[in-house]
Structure 1
Amino acid sequence: MHVHADRGSLAVGRADHVTYHAAPHGAVSWPHQVGVIPRRASAFQDRASAWQLRDASADAATAARILDGMGGVGKTQLAADHARHAWENGEVDLLIWVTAASRQAVIEAYAQAAADILHPDPAYPERAAAAFLAWLEPKPAPQPVRWLIVLDDVADPGDLRGLWPPAHSLGRTLITTRRRDATLTAHGRRVPVGLFTPAESLTYLQQALTVYGRSDNVADLAALTEALGHLPLALSQAAAYLADTHLDATHYRVRLADRARQLADLLPESEALPDDQPTTVAAAWSLSLERADQLRPAGLARPMLQLSAMLDANGVPLQVLIGEPVLTHLTAQRSDGAGQTLPAVSEEEAAGALRALHRLSLIDHTPDEPHQAVRAHQLIQRAIRDSLIPEDRDHVARTAADALIAAWPEVERDTDLARALRANATALLARAEDALYQPDAHGLLHRLGQSLGEAGQSSAAIKHFQHLTDTITHRLGREDHPHALAARGNLAHWRGEAGDSAGASAASAALLEDCLRLLGADHPETLGTRINLAACRGQAGDPDGAAAAFGALLEDLLRVLGPDHPHTLAARGNLAHWRGEAGDPAGAAQLTAALLEDRLRLLGADHPETLGTRINLAAWRGEAGDPDGAAAANAALLEDLLRVLGPDHPRTLATRGNLAHWRGEAGDLVGAAQLTAALLEDRLRLLGPHHLETLITRMNLVSWRGKAGDLAGADTAFAALLQPGDAASRGEGAVPGQGLTNGEGG
């Protein structure tokens, strides 16, 4: 059967039991459109995704193009632009726009197209839709129809079962969806739609505000686009909010940063949304989350996203979200509706919840990047946190803290993992710090500070422990609470490590008085404070006094804690160190060698404390007159450090510096300069040009190049050292020479 229209004879496939009639000549005017294309946004950006879509559509190798991405990135606007471009340029004869939120909506749109072209029985829309799909099938025709079907906002891939338009050399299908299911990509080619670039964000916001007669400071607008995460929907609604409230970008950004404010209160009311938008940013993902929560394993997507919303938007390590604290939390959250707890959630199910969220574009789950396996947009996180009542938000925050602690290794061999854990702990503190002081200071607060210090960030560790001390004291009203004492001890320790020996000594002395009064002389906290105080004496320039203090302290540690306690071992390392500093390097080497035997017995060869003791032993042997032996020991040690701790660990870098030092002392001046130059590159990459360790390495490079006779190279290195902005040129004091690395915390 044929249907005659003014474009000629069109072949139509027959569906079973479908009744339709040929349209009279001229009943359908070509080109023909079914459905309404959404109007163009007032500040539409013709961005790279639009060109990528046009390029993809020019290739007819696959049937459909699938625009996928999180809600609010502008998929519908890109699809509308594509459809409008094809229509206005005469590229299609039939254009069908379907708001495909449900299967019924797709059927009704197809039935409408069939009614316009084929005149089927209107009482049977499913049959009409089938007839229309059959009509689309490729077949010989004098003047075939070029068509484009847009299925916008497909919510469930299952809704399209049996409703996919056929592959056709003259037909194109374009789908927009938040879904990333494999069944979708089996039907076509993905065209992922992401956020605006910073430049696109700024241009968009400027143009959107121009519509309202606004012209704001460019730098302020750029900062605001960053705060909004370059999300097109958020930028559009923020522009409308700024216009309605007559607020400037800077003050709006301050309101956004205020955790006491709800995101919904910082957006236009639903009736004042721009560009016919159906929902606010705050509610844009609610339906997606409902659908994700229905996917297997049912009921776990929502609590998993709530946990993710407390952590770093730039990446959460996988082990954090599949660890025991999270599994326990998910088990408690999952019930059968009758108050009975279902079987315990497994790691496999927790990973399944992450995949469900990924399928709905609520997170990006990339298991191949284990340290940053889960990423979520900052505004999705904000909307999810806002949806929690205070009691639930605090509980989720403490669970996230438990999960971080459980994933945090006692020994930070993997520097990338440690960096990611610190970033997540910092994000959690920024979002829910109050919850981590209920009922007491959570262990994560102390672990974060220790990790900062161990990573070589002494200043950051000091700042952290000062804040922790002040907060605990303020909340509990006393400076002698056990958690406050621990924080004060860490604060004193890292002040000493940073070179503030006087401040560390005064803080340790005050802390010792409180420990003696509250805990007694033999309490581990008291003994640990005595260790710090003794070390401060040496750091203040009294190595003999420090050695004597550690000698006396060691007797008490052996009596109270025994020979194998970490405090006892640390005191032995400090005793060796200060004996060497007091002028007895041979004695220091003997004490360190004996300590190494016990470290090997108790901790094994690859434990960082064992490796730290080897660092010190090599150094003291060099100081005792054996630079060749020290160089050989450092070379062997470096191989183990690279294997165990990795190339970027502070101890690995320190050992490279020591190796260069002893090679030079053994007479290989050129080799020392070369090793130091290579080390400087990594110091600059990891720490920046103004870090103390970078400056030390620069000074050593000047020294070794000069000693090797490379006066021009020494001049160049010295000029770089005195570049404006360096600590030396700012008059912050002399930079000490690079000597041995004390791995014992003394």
Structure 2
Amino acid sequence: MADRLQATVDGGGTAVLRQVLTGMGGVGKTQLAADYAHTAWDDGGLDVLVWVTASAQSPVVTGYAQAAIELCRADPDDPEQAARSFLAWLTPKAGQRPCRWLIVLDDVAEPADLIVNPDDPHNRFSLWPPASPYGRTLVTTRRRDAALTGEGRRLVEVGLFTEAEAVAYLTTSLAAHRRDEPADQLTALSRELGYLPLALSQAAAYLIDSGETAAAYRDLLADRVTELTDLAPDALPDEQAVPLAAAWSLSIDRADTLRPVGLARPMLHLAALLDANGIPQEVLTGEAARAHLAAHRTATGPNPTVEPALVSRPDAVRALRALNKLSLIDHTPTTPHHAVRVHQLIQRATRDSLTPRVLDQLGRTAADALLAAWPDIEPDVHLAQSLRANTTALVNHVGEEALFRSAAHQVLYRAGRSMRDVGQVSTARDHFAQLADAAHRYLGPDHIDTFIARHHAATTQGQAGDPAGAVNGLKDVLQDLLKIQSPEHPETLRVRYFLAYWQGQAGNTDASLAAFPMLVDDFKRIFGPRHPDTLTARGDFATTQADAGDVAAALASLVGLLDDMVRVFGPHHPYTLTHRQNVAAIKGQAGDVAGAAAAFVELLDDMVQALGLNHPRTLKVRMNVATGRGLLGDAHAAVAAFTELLDDMLRVLGPDHPDTLATRSKLAIWRDHARGLGR
């Protein structure tokens, strides 16, 4: 099949530039695509290779945007525009050196996902890579829609094994472990497994690990098929579902006998609810996951022994290795953010073995595990992206209602804040708007979580560039909230706070200044003087004073507040780091250039340690440090710092980001100063 694919691609010429591998789940489409991509790269036939998991529109846009950031310095704050830039970059241009590229779109679930904004003629665009004599596109999908053909696209059917191929596969796999089974038994086993490569691989792994004969395995398989047919003949995917589920059932039984005994099954139950394309190991080995393993350990054998109640982290890892050994998952610890991959058919068969009640409870357990693995700050953008993808997969697998039992699960809010923190504020705004709708639907309009989601939706609207819209939205939330809660209820206080803040951002400084003193007093009385919300409100009140022109009063308040922040949180906490940045900036506004410069230098060391050298917030501080060097009289040092910073700004933020433009401007200014000093 690999040879056929190679011949199809090579023989297509410029008329057929897009190959679509189609076939049912488990036949090896992704493996064929990976083989082709590796071969093309290793042969030196490519300059650019991009692999995108295309199970939904969002990961395609994100994958293209990441490529655009790395290849053509696109703006990371606007993923859709970055995706457009990448597609434009792929388009061949007269006079430029040809770029040989291959784009793999793996596991396209809906062909319509490859069209963005289909109903908006002004913003509609296709995610199909452009036609180019130097480029190739390879798609894998279970679909055979007409939308996947035409426009230089060719469908390549990937079918089941033939009987001879299936028997050859089993024979070769067993021979590698010095096993020899009668050909008639392997032929019968292949037939009973429907010649599905995925089911055959599980059967081979079981035979090798257990030492059972093919005849004995067939007897076990027949019992399981009968049971599953009686229980759920139509619930499993594809015509191969029953033999696959039967093979899965035998494999999971075997995995449960491996040490640590009884943990493989509850581990697979958890993994079946998350992202098939990659689950961070910490999610499946953290405290929440280990509590689930301990509570649901499988009793095995005729006289199962009582195992210790607690499950250690090494035992959780060993449970993953047991599943990997039986080909139920792929466990690659060297890629911790995507350490566990599970075929979607195995996930589906696993979920279909659970009752609705168990599935519902397990969904909240998986949400707990994701939330526990999510850091307060996100220096690792790849981990954050994986956690967001796993949250989306969880909602898709268990249904959003499962995460709204009596209250909205906090992982839903955390995913939205993560989108906001990496600059995807428009996506975060839409996420919170959908979350507010869901809370209204499942919890009712007066539930506190509905109000929390609404106020997040309004504040992210402001962060997306619409402060006036944020003010209007927060006024509506406050009006409705006051009908059922007092002005001093914690959520009412927070909405009042955000309203005051966004009034200031929208230009209504008088309203903001009038609201903040009473707010700060209420926060102190209700939450206490050391609560994070109290300290944040004090800080924003001071910066509003500075914006209004009272820099001296603002600086006095901020310096006093900084002492409280350090006492309560320590010097390296995110709250403290943000506040230290505000203090340094206002010191400069007040005319203390040396003090501001020293504060920014000290802050930079801590920011690098906490967030890394190229985090957007660290880049901002580096800009202030470079400015300070120039203002203190060392123009040449300022030029050197801004030159280095500009390279990092272009790579991380892109050429059109406001901070990049400001850095370019400041570099030009300090180069002028340096030249003047040399004359």
TM-score (norm 1): 0.58
Paired position in structure 2 for 1:140:
none
Residue in structure 2 matching 1:289, options 234, 252, 273 = 252
TM-align CA RMSD: 4.3
Q: What letter corresponds to residue 660 of structure 2 in structure 1?
A: R
> Helix, strand or coil: the match of 1:106?
coil
Q: Does structure 2 conserve the Cα–Cα contact (< 8 Å) formed by 1:264 and 1:280?
A: no
In the alignment, the residues of structure 2 paired with residue 42 and residue 660 of structure 1 have an alpha-carbon distance, to the nearest angstrom, of: 54
In the alignment, the residues of structure 2 paired with residue 662 and residue 398 of structure 1 have an alpha-carbon distance, to the nearest angstrom, of: 50
Asked if residue 699 in structure 1 is aligned to residue 666 in structure 2, the reply is no
Per-residue CA deviations over 1:133-192 (Å, capped at 9, x if unaligned) read xxxxxxxxxxxxxxxxxxx9363446779x9xxxxxxxxxxxxxxxxxxxxxxxxxxxxx
In the alignment, the residues of structure 2 paired with residue 335 and residue 630 of structure 1 have an alpha-carbon distance, to the nearest angstrom, of: 61
In the alignment, the residues of structure 2 paired with residue 643 and residue 98 of structure 1 have an alpha-carbon distance, to the nearest angstrom, of: 52
Shift of 1:341: 7.4
Paired position in structure 2 for 1:565:
531
Per-residue CA deviations over 1:251-308 (Å, capped at 9, x if unaligned) read xxxxxxxxxx98844x3468xxxxxxxx866666444333222322233212211211
| Higher relative contact order, structure no. (Cα contacts within 8 Å, ≥ 6 residues apart) | 2
Residue in structure 2 matching 1:436, options 395, 398, 403 = 403
Q: Does structure 1 conserve the Cα–Cα contact (< 8 Å) formed by 2:620 and 2:659?
A: no
Paired position in structure 2 for 1:396:
362
Q: Does structure 1 conserve the Cα–Cα contact (< 8 Å) formed by 2:177 and 2:208?
A: no
Paired position in structure 2 for 1:153:
204
Q: What letter corresponds to residue 602 of structure 1 in structure 2?
A: V
Per-residue CA deviations over 1:214-272 (Å, capped at 9, x if unaligned) read xxxxxxxxxxxxxxxxxxxxxxxxxxxxxxxxxxxxxxxxxxxxxxx98844x3468xx
In the alignment, the residues of structure 2 paired with residue 378 and residue 434 of structure 1 have an alpha-carbon distance, to the nearest angstrom, of: 22
Shift of 1:626: 2.9
In the alignment, the residues of structure 1 paired with residue 474 and residue 324 of structure 2 have an alpha-carbon distance, to the nearest angstrom, of: 50
Distance 1:448-1:269 versus aligned 2 partners, 3 A rule = closer
Shift of 1:469: 0.4
Paired position in structure 1 for 2:309:
344
Shift of 1:595: 0.8
Shift of 1:83: 8.0
Asked if residue 466 in structure 1 is aligned to residue 433 in structure 2, the reply is yes
Instruction: Name which one, 1 or 2, has greater alpha-carbon Rg.
Output: 1
Q: What letter corresponds to residue 404 of structure 2 in structure 1?
A: Y
Q: Does structure 2 conserve the Cα–Cα contact (< 8 Å) formed by 1:458 and 1:498?
A: yes
Distance 1:465-1:710 versus aligned 2 partners, 3 A rule = same
Shift of 1:614: 0.8
Question: Higher helix fraction: Structure 1 or Structure 2?
Answer: 2
Q: Does structure 2 conserve the Cα–Cα contact (< 8 Å) formed by 1:263 and 1:382?
A: no
Residue in structure 1 matching 2:180, options 106, 123, 129 = 106
Q: Does structure 2 conserve the Cα–Cα contact (< 8 Å) formed by 1:512 and 1:529?
A: yes
In the alignment, the residues of structure 2 paired with residue 48 and residue 419 of structure 1 have an alpha-carbon distance, to the nearest angstrom, of: 26
Shift of 1:485: 1.0
Per-residue CA deviations over 1:559-590 (Å, capped at 9, x if unaligned) read 33332122221111011101111112233222
Q: What letter corresponds to residue 697 of structure 1 in structure 2?
A: D
Q: Does structure 2 conserve the Cα–Cα contact (< 8 Å) formed by 1:458 and 1:494?
A: yes
Asked if residue 580 in structure 1 is aligned to residue 543 in structure 2, the reply is no
Shift of 1:391: 2.5
Per-residue CA deviations over 1:583-635 (Å, capped at 9, x if unaligned) read 12233222111111000100011111111111111111111123343233222
Asked if residue 589 in structure 1 is aligned to residue 555 in structure 2, the reply is yes
Asked if residue 455 in structure 1 is aligned to residue 422 in structure 2, the reply is yes
Distance 1:154-1:601 versus aligned 2 partners, 3 A rule = closer
> Helix, strand or coil: the match of 2:657?
helix
Q: Does structure 2 conserve the Cα–Cα contact (< 8 Å) formed by 1:263 and 1:282?
A: no
Distance 1:154-1:328 versus aligned 2 partners, 3 A rule = closer
In the alignment, the residues of structure 2 paired with residue 410 and residue 388 of structure 1 have an alpha-carbon distance, to the nearest angstrom, of: 33
Distance 1:696-1:97 versus aligned 2 partners, 3 A rule = closer
Distance 1:608-1:289 versus aligned 2 partners, 3 A rule = same
> Helix, strand or coil: the match of 2:492?
helix
> Helix, strand or coil: the match of 2:483?
helix
Asked if residue 301 in structure 1 is aligned to residue 292 in structure 2, the reply is no
Asked if residue 426 in structure 1 is aligned to residue 369 in structure 2, the reply is no
Asked if residue 618 in structure 1 is aligned to residue 584 in structure 2, the reply is yes
Paired position in structure 2 for 1:92:
none
In the alignment, the residues of structure 2 paired with residue 159 and residue 560 of structure 1 have an alpha-carbon distance, to the nearest angstrom, of: 63
Q: What letter corresponds to residue 661 of structure 2 in structure 1?
A: M
Per-residue CA deviations over 1:470-489 (Å, capped at 9, x if unaligned) read 111122342x2111111122
- Which structure 1 residue ranges, 5 or more long, are not aligned? 1-40, 53-72, 85-95, 111-151, 164-260, 271-278, 712-746
Shift of 1:526: 1.3
Q: Does structure 1 conserve the Cα–Cα contact (< 8 Å) formed by 2:645 and 2:663?
A: no
In the alignment, the residues of structure 2 paired with residue 83 and residue 565 of structure 1 have an alpha-carbon distance, to the nearest angstrom, of: 67
Distance 1:510-1:668 versus aligned 2 partners, 3 A rule = farther
Residue in structure 2 matching 1:313, options 276, 281, 306 = 276
Shift of 1:641: 0.9
Q: What letter corresponds to residue 204 of structure 2 in structure 1?
A: D
Distance 1:385-1:588 versus aligned 2 partners, 3 A rule = same
Paired position in structure 2 for 1:655:
621
Q: Does structure 1 conserve the Cα–Cα contact (< 8 Å) formed by 2:328 and 2:342?
A: yes
Q: Does structure 2 conserve the Cα–Cα contact (< 8 Å) formed by 1:672 and 1:704?
A: no
In the alignment, the residues of structure 2 paired with residue 42 and residue 344 of structure 1 have an alpha-carbon distance, to the nearest angstrom, of: 40
Per-residue CA deviations over 1:26-84 (Å, capped at 9, x if unaligned) read xxxxxxxxxxxxxxx999979969x99xxxxxxxxxxxxxxxxxxxx999899969989
Per-residue CA deviations over 1:469-510 (Å, capped at 9, x if unaligned) read 0111122342x2111111122222222233311111111112
Identity over aligned residues, as a percent? 44
Q: Does structure 2 conserve the Cα–Cα contact (< 8 Å) formed by 1:679 and 1:697?
A: no
Paired position in structure 1 for 2:522:
556
Shift of 1:637: 1.0
Distance 1:668-1:401 versus aligned 2 partners, 3 A rule = same
In the alignment, the residues of structure 1 paired with residue 586 and residue 388 of structure 2 have an alpha-carbon distance, to the nearest angstrom, of: 34
In the alignment, the residues of structure 1 paired with residue 648 and residue 338 of structure 2 have an alpha-carbon distance, to the nearest angstrom, of: 23
Q: Between Structure 1 and Structure 2, how many residues are aligned? A: 490
Shift of 1:425: 1.8
Q: What letter corresponds to residue 106 of structure 1 in structure 2?
A: D
In the alignment, the residues of structure 2 paired with residue 382 and residue 42 of structure 1 have an alpha-carbon distance, to the nearest angstrom, of: 17
Distance 1:511-1:98 versus aligned 2 partners, 3 A rule = closer
Q: What letter corresponds to residue 371 of structure 1 in structure 2?
A: H
Shift of 1:406: 2.4
Shift of 1:359: 1.2
Aligned ranges 1:344-743 → 2 under 5 Å: 344-347=309-312, 348-412=314-378, 415-432=381-398, 433-478=400-445, 480-666=446-632, 672=638, 675-676=641-642, 678-686=644-652, 695-708=657-670
> Helix, strand or coil: the match of 2:204?
strand
Shift of 1:640: 0.8
TM-score (norm 2): 0.63
Q: What letter corresponds to residue 591 of structure 1 in structure 2?
A: S
Paired position in structure 2 for 1:333:
296
In the alignment, the residues of structure 2 paired with residue 477 and residue 377 of structure 1 have an alpha-carbon distance, to the nearest angstrom, of: 37
